[in-house]
Amino acid sequence: MSFLSPAYFAFFPVTVLIYFLLPQKCRNLWLLIGSWFFYACAGPEYLPFLVGSSIAVYFAARRLEKKPQKALLVFMLALFIGLLTLFKYLGFAANVISRTLSVFGLDWTAAVPKLLLPAGISFYFFAAMGYLIDVYRGKVPAEKDFVKSALFLSFFPSLLSGPIARADRLMPQFEQLHEFSWQEARVGLFRFAYGAFLKLLIADRLAVMVDTVFASPQSFGSLQVIAAACAFSIQIYCDFAAYSHMAIGSARAMGFKLTENFNTPYFSRSIAEFWRRWHISLSTWFRDYLYIPLGGNRRGQTRKYINVLIVFAVSGLWHGAATSFLVWGLLNGIYQVIGSITAPLRARVRSALRLDDNGKLTVLWQMLCVFVLATVAWTFFEAGSVSGAIDVLRACAGSTLWAAPLSAMGMDKWEFAVAFVSCIVMLIVDILHFRHGDQAERAAGSPWPLRCLLLLALLFASLIFGSYGTGYDAQSFIYGQF
């Protein structure tokens, strides 16, 4: 059940209405039933995985609280990672082994069974592992109520594509009494409507151009391929940020506050900062449960760089079982390592050029560099293979600037115009967010004529200019596949 499906538009109001009508003691149970129903709509065959994980996590957490046994924690983590490997990486691993052996002249191919990949498994398994580690560390108590424990993993707004839940923030909210609040409902509505705007007007529209150009980069001029590569940077941001807005908005309407997942990442001045602002729930997960346990930056520079590369390699693989994702992750790690090594040199260049470290020109230049570097890395993410990405990058450096008519890029002039205007709107919202904080809060708190106008504008922009319905290929959320 996608957030932008008629089924969700029926499911969500009914769930929320009944949630607020029920007495407090029944509400979590109701949410759990609703969440499991929501998950079953993605595929009833997936439900046993979620229910099974919930049961395992509940008992393991109770046990770890009573007696913090490292062996049990390791067993549980190995179980989750093993299952993830089985469902997601078995084919990839067999392929890597086969190719490695072929280098030594050995011929080996494994018949890998095609296993079903339960929806959202990467997200709720990571939430589960984080919770168990926190219980083991004594950071959070084990939840004694099975319903709350299961709801922590299953809470429908964040179940399929995050934000990845953290026990210390979400679990206490299941204890609280959430009274219906107009302000919270309005904030939720604005977040949801803005998410729909990003998805339908920008992400799905640009997807047509990106898919067309990436499918055959050699048929286009270098400017056109560069435009498509930049468009993918915007597409993936709008796609995933849209999902997060809608997830956070849905939860907010019920009074729950999920972890923010994006904080204007393309306004970052370094790749390290970019990763503090992009997919925040995953970045912080890796920081807390992988980077710091590996030693973080406490064991010298070289070890720090190795740790960064390990984290980003794992992050790449988390996104998908393919070499191109691994390269994408490593590239982001390498950017950070090089950024850290060259920081003093760059400071000296700025000083020689008499550029203020925080001057407008410096900041804009750094943001531009981040966007370009991220775009090069995203090319590996989108192209589907390393060779495909290299083809795209090679086409970016081609000598012909413009080789095909605009219409060959999959969009007519009107579609380009809508995409352009929508991107300007997104840019303005991001600038306002960057300077003044959450714009949904501001919009929801504005005088009623203004907020009605804003909401109607978002609604009608999506309904009239959105990429949906007859004649459009419905695009699923990119992060839905992870």
Partner 1 sequence: MNKTNKKDWMLAIAFVVLAAVLIHCASIIMRPVHNSYGSTWDAYLCEPEDSIDVLFLGSSYAYCDWNPEIMFAASGLTGYVMAGSEQTPSITYWYLKQALKTQSPQVVVMEGSSFFFEMYQNYTQINLDYMPRGIDRARAILDAAEPDKRLGLFFDLYFYHDRWKELTREDIAKLITPASADVNKGYTYVDNVYDTKGSTPYHREPSKDTAAYEKHLEAFKKIAELCGDNGIDLIVTINPTFSQCSPEIYDKLEKDLTGIAPEADFMLLANSFDEIGLDISRDLYDGGHLNFYGACKFSEWTGKMLLGKGYTPREQTKEDKAAWDDGAQYWLNLRDTSQSAAS
**Applying CB under 8 A, which residues contact partner 1?**
6, 182, 412, 414, 448, 452, 455-456, 459-460, 463-466, 468-472
As a three-state string, the secondary structure of the chain is CCCCCHHHHHHHHHHHHHHHHCCHHHHHHHHHHHHHHHHHHHCHHHHHHHHHHHHHHHHHHHHHHHCCCHHHHHHHHHHHHHHHHHHHHHHHHHHHHHHHHHHCCCCCCCCCCCCCCCCCHHHHHHHHHHHHHHHHHCCCCCCCCHHHHHHHHHCHHHHCCCCCCCHHHHHHHHHCCCCCCHHHHHHHHHHHHHHHHHHHHHHHHHHHHHHHHHHCHHHCCHHHHHHHHHHHHHHHHHHHHHHHHHHHHHHHHCCCCCCCCCCCHHHCCCHHHHHHHCCHHHHHHHHHHHHCCCCCCCCCHHHHHHHHHHHHHHHHHHHCCCHHHHHHHHHHHHHHHHHHHHHHHHHHHHHHCCCCCCCHHHHHHHHHHHHHHHHHHHHHHHHCCHHHHHHHHHHHCCCCCCCCCHHHHCCCHHHHHHHHHHHHHHHHHHHHHHHHCCHHHHHHCCCHHHHHHHHHHHHHHHHHHCCCCCCCCCCCCHHHHC
Quote the least distance from Cβ 466 to partner 1, whole Å. Answer: 7
> Given 279, 319, 433, 436, which residue is catalytic?
319
Active site residue 319: yes
* Residue 107 or 179 having the CB closest to partner 1: 179
Quote the least distance from Cβ 182 to partner 1, whole Å. Answer: 5
* Residue 98 or 181 having the CB closest to partner 1: 181
Quote the least distance from Cβ 31 to partner 1, whole Å. Answer: 23
Please, are residues 265 and 278 in contact by the beta-carbon 8 Å criterion?
yes
Quote the least distance from Cβ 184 to partner 1, whole Å. Answer: 12
Long-range contacts of 309-313 (CB under 8 A, 24+ apart): 309/333, 309/334, 309/337, 311/286, 311/287, 312/336
Quote the least distance from Cβ 234 to partner 1, whole Å. Answer: 21
Please, are residues 388 and 200 in contact by the beta-carbon 8 Å criterion?
no
Measured distance CA(172)–CA(49) in Å, rounded: 25
* Residue 10 or 364 having the CB closest to partner 1: 10
* Residue 244 or 462 having the CB closest to partner 1: 462
* Residue 270 or 475 having the CB closest to partner 1: 475
* Residue 60 or 253 having the CB closest to partner 1: 253
* Residue 356 or 473 having the CB closest to partner 1: 473
Please, are residues 329 and 313 in contact by the beta-carbon 8 Å criterion?
yes
Quote the least distance from Cβ 418 to partner 1, whole Å. Answer: 9
Measured distance CA(124)–CA(102) in Å, rounded: 36
Quote the least distance from Cβ 414 to partner 1, whole Å. Answer: 5
Quote the least distance from Cβ 35 to partner 1, whole Å. Answer: 25
* Residue 349 or 456 having the CB closest to partner 1: 456
Quote the least distance from Cβ 417 to partner 1, whole Å. Answer: 10
What tokens does 15 get? 């769930």
* Residue 6 or 405 having the CB closest to partner 1: 6
Angle, helices 204-215 vs 413-436, to 10°: value is: 120
Give catalytic residue positions. 319
